[in-house]
Amino acid sequence: MPMSSETLSFGEWLEDQLEANRLTQNAFAAMIESNSGSVSRWVNNHRTPDPATCYRIAEALGEDPLEVLVRAGHVDEDDSEVRRMRAAKEAEEAYQQAARAVARISALEPEPFDPWLKSIGEMSPEDFERLKVAVREREEYERRHGRGNGRQ
């Protein structure tokens, strides 16, 4: 039975990522400017990459560097700063999704992050909840109305 991605060791997770991206250990090593011996040791859980290499791994795989650092054991996922960073990232993604939905409706280009909002982390919980509700309502509207593809 496959393990959930949350319970995989770093090596198991990396092996899954390589398979999903159809990468050999040699090809991946070249992508991250490492060597196949190091990749093999990571996949077999004999070692973990250093933090700088974790950033290169994240970039090569299109993953969040924080997630790779947590998986490699360099950052404690229960750390309050990690939780705050994840919450801020989720909030920013929700905001960007809402901005794209509004832009599709009004046929305008998406606006950049609102300059008046110094940080998405400064958004009040109430405003964040209202934003999530607005995004869900917009998605439901688009589902019912064919996502603007000419159907009515």
Q: What is the Cα–Cα distance from 73 to 79, expressed in whole angstroms?
A: 12
Neighbours of 79 (CB within 10 A): 11
Q: What string of pLDDT tens digits covers the 152 residues of the chain? A: 344 456 889 999 999 999 999 999 999 999 999 999 999 999 999 999 999 999 999 999 999 888 898 899 888 877 777 777 777 778 888 888 888 777 777 655 545 545 445 455 666 777 767 777 777 887 887 888 776 544 44
**Could you say which of 1.10.10.10, 3.30.470.20, 3.30.70.260, 1.10.260.40 is the CATH number of the domain covering 10-71?**
1.10.260.40
Look up the pTM and report it: 0.55
Query: pLDDT at position 2, please?
Result: 43
Query: pLDDT at position 22, please?
Result: 95
Q: What is the Cα–Cα distance from 59 to 135, expressed in whole angstroms?
A: 29
Per the structure block, which two tokens stand in for 33? 């400017």
Q: What is the Cα–Cα distance from 25 to 112, expressed in whole angstroms?
A: 38
Query: pLDDT at position 115, please?
Result: 46
CA 65 to chain centre: 9
Query: pLDDT at position 6, please?
Result: 61
Query: pLDDT at position 149, please?
Result: 47
Q: What is the Cα–Cα distance from 92 to 137, expressed in whole angstroms?
A: 18
Query: pLDDT at position 99, please?
Result: 80
